[in-house]
Amino acid sequence: MRAPIVAGPWRRDLGAACGVAVVVALLAQLPVLVNPAFYFWDDSAAQFLPMWHRLGERVLAGQWPPLLEPDSWMGGDIAAEALFGVWNPVHLVEFVLVVAIGDLAVAAVVVKTQFLVLLGVGTHVLCREYGASRPVAAVFGVALPVSGFVLYFQAATWAGGLMGLAWVPWAWWALRRAGRDRAPVWVAFVFGYLCVSAGDPYAVLALVLVGAGLLLELRFARLGVRRLLLAAVPVAMVVPLVFVPVLATAPVGWRTGLLLFNAGLLAPDAGDLLNLSVAGFVPQIRSFGSFRMTVPALYFTWFALPLAPWLDWRVLRARARHCAGVFVVAGAGVLLCLGPSQVGMLRWPLRHLPVVYLALAVVLAVALSSGVRTEHRRTRTLITLLAVALCGYLSFAAWPSLWARHVVSVVLMGSVLGLVALGRRALVPWGLQLGTVVALVCQVCWFPANHDVAVYSFPSDVRRIRADFAHLRSGTVVQIADRSRIAARDVESGAAWRQLLFGNMHAVAGVPSLVSYTGIGFRSLHERLCLGYFGAQCPDAYRRLWEADETGAPLADQLRVRHVVVQRRSLDFPVAPPGWRVVHRDAAVTRLQRSEPVPWPAGRLSVASDVRVLADDERSARSEQVRFDRAGPRAELVFARLAWPGYRATADGAELPVRATSAGLVRVELPEGTRAGTVRLDWSPPGYRVGIALALAGALLALLGGRRWA
């Protein structure tokens, strides 16, 4: 007889969650109606979508996990580029979906809509967990995914942040329920694993704050913390698998992880946070190349501030212990937002803002669920009007020429008074939802794109890209180019991308290229060729490409380069060295090609000194085998592979030293007295086996320990 009592609320919760999913999915399409490339922007265009496509092809080819892409060079250590989340099964499905769609801009809309929906439903579920009513929880489930920073930065460009954030409310919900013995420990592990394996360090830091808050919350509630620890410890055991490779690249990469300073970049102050309800507010926060932003990055929801005087805050006082974890996350998150611009490998404090707003959503949802208070109406009305007026003035002061937008924003905020005046509790959530839609429509019309970041206007049709660059697919490409030398009209029209590609776009074209987008980098190769996201950016890189170093071979030979594309605005008439010829020249580029094929075509061996190589076989992206004889006393092999930490070489079972050339390539020295044999070169991320063992142990602990010892 008890089943119908349980099933009824469960069905209503499911219906409300489905409603949130539908509304968020529809609202996520509004920016695309104004700007079809809204989600294919900046890093999403240069880094994420192209590499998702490449990784999807690897998964379809049976290569899992896809941890190394040698042909992407400085961006090829996928294990260290944790934001790709190759250990997350949902991400792998998304990679395959990108391949199936075949258009990167369309795929960006599909994938990011899914994660916005995941975030929205998770926010709704978390608010319900803390006692919010269904309609009110739905209001915040819709509001958070279309808030300023989430929409304009995480969804539009920094896709890794969105994918990590989307799992935070689910992991929070599961950990809390597991700690209160209302859900199995393994459920908390699953959502915690999905959050950690997404590879976003800010999401992991959010989980740390959540764990600390829940410990305090359970103590206040006089509940044991054993179940919470049984849920949290297994999740923590996944962290080394995902993030140890990132730290291990510090000796060879750009990021040392030891930095602590404040340059003010994307660092808000306390006053900026006051305007979280002004849809048209553009903060004076230092952005990339500008003293202020061009989008409403601090916007949360239009009603949060004007509605605050009408909420029943006594509910939160009475439930302070019940909501202690929320206060911890919100307070710590605000401190992080106001902190230094660089703390170790974490940079740009504004990235902590979505977690603050997630916690704030829970607080407001709990307070609003008990209805609005209507006593002392004049006092509350006066407070609301003063708050709206102050926000309007601060917005106008920040950017006076946008006064019309500020007026509309202020009117929208003031409409809360009309909603409260209706006096019908059931209508309030519907009115708030309608206002959220109106605010979003205004914002996508006012701010159709995020111009704080790079605008590439890359082509998105995979077939077209591959057709345009089919002539370069026969070997490694070095591109001598500088993005700043391309005319803006050629970028906007896409004409520039018929001859040049930046970021990870060569990966979509199927072209092995030194051009790649990476947050890790490889210092030695970068210093040798001035190599960045856009190619070799200094004209002198062309001369350095043909110089020999301690290996005795030109760098072009060590890299097994077959094509060199030179932007004419960087170097107008490059002279072809011996063994090379100019095969194409137009107004934009000069293209050179090697006259003879590179040696050992089946592998990546590039230089063999004092040794005769019989065969070289690249068995996989991570493994290679070389058969040799007649090795002299100074025999060594150089491979067209960057010497990422994790390489191991053996000769007939004996360990060989693996070093790096001055350009950062893998160099293996054969021991004296070796006349013939087989060298095997293998790569695994640092801590690979230990990380897998810890993750499996964590899963086992969550599955068995939670049931046995809780």
Kindly state the average pLDDT of the residues 3-31. Answer: 83
The whole-chain average pLDDT of the chain stands at 92
| β-pair type (346-347, 342-343) | antiparallel
pLDDT of 436-448, one tens digit each?
Answer: 999 999 999 999 9
Kindly state the average pLDDT of the residues 617-623. Answer: 95
Are 81 and 518 a contacting pair, CB within 8 Å?
Answer: yes
pLDDT for 347: 86
User: What domains, with CATH codes, occur in the chain?
Assistant: 3-392+406-446 (no CATH), 462-545+561-594 (no CATH), 605-684 (2.60.40)
Kindly state the average pLDDT of the residues 555-575. Answer: 95
Q: C-alpha angle with apex 515: 509 to 516, nearest 5 degrees? A: 85
List the structure tokens of 59: 């998964």
| β-pair type (260-261, 346-347) | unpaired
Q: What is the rounded distance in angstroms from the CA atom of residue 351 to the CA atom of residue 11? A: 36
Q: What is the rounded distance in angstroms from the CA atom of residue 271 to the CA atom of residue 530? A: 41
Determine which of 216-220, 303-307, 658-662, 680-684 has the lowest per-residue pLDDT on average.
Answer: 216-220
Q: What is the rounded distance in angstroms from the CA atom of residue 247 to the CA atom of residue 203? A: 17
pLDDT band at residue 262 under the 50/70/90 scheme: confident
Q: For 304, phi and psi rounded to 5 degrees?
A: -60, -50
Determine which of 20-34, 248-262, 337-351, 372-386 has the lowest per-residue pLDDT on average.
Answer: 248-262
pLDDT of 538-561, one tens digit each?
Answer: 878 999 999 999 989 999 999 999
pLDDT band at residue 201 under the 50/70/90 scheme: very high
pLDDT of 387-435, one tens digit each?
Answer: 999 999 999 998 999 999 999 999 999 999 999 887 677 789 999 999 9
pLDDT for 258: 64
- Tell whether the model's pLDDT for residue 2 goes beyond 50: no
Report the first-to-last Cα separation within the chain, whole angstroms: 29
Q: What is the rounded distance in angstroms from the CA atom of residue 138 to the CA atom of residue 143? A: 9
pLDDT of 79-127, one tens digit each?
Answer: 999 999 999 999 999 999 999 999 999 999 999 999 999 999 999 999 9
Q: Residues near 200 by Cβ (< 8 Å), separated by ≥ 6?
A: 82, 83, 85, 160, 161, 163, 164, 165
Kindly state the average pLDDT of the residues 570-582. Answer: 94
- Tell whether the model's pLDDT for residue 58 goes beyond 60: yes
What is 538-591 written as a DSSP string?
STHHHHHHT-B-TTSSBHHHHTTEEEEEEETTT-SSPPPPTTEEEEEE-SSEEE
Kindly state the average pLDDT of the residues 283-302. Answer: 91
- Tell whether the model's pLDDT for residue 488 goes beyond 80: yes
Determine which of 258-262, 311-315, 443-447 has the lowest per-residue pLDDT on average.
Answer: 258-262
Determine which of 43-47, 484-488, 642-646 has the lowest per-residue pLDDT on average.
Answer: 484-488
Are 245 and 686 a contacting pair, CB within 8 Å?
Answer: yes
pTM: 0.95
pLDDT of 695-705, one tens digit each?
Answer: 999 999 998 87
Q: What is the rounded distance in angstroms from the CA atom of residue 192 to the CA atom of residue 471? A: 45
More confident site: 178 or 257? 178
pLDDT for 1: 32
pLDDT of 216-248, one tens digit each?
Answer: 998 876 667 888 999 999 999 999 999 999 999
pLDDT for 563: 97
pLDDT for 632: 85
- Greatest Cα pair distance in the chain: 96
pLDDT band at residue 318 under the 50/70/90 scheme: confident
pLDDT for 259: 72
pLDDT for 705: 73
Q: What is the total residue count of the chain?
A: 710
pLDDT for 534: 76
Q: Residues near 500 by Cβ (< 8 Å), separated by ≥ 6?
A: 479, 481, 486, 535, 565, 567, 588, 589
Rg (CA), the chain: 28
The owner of tokens 């370069």 is 472
Share of the chain above pLDDT 90, in %: 79
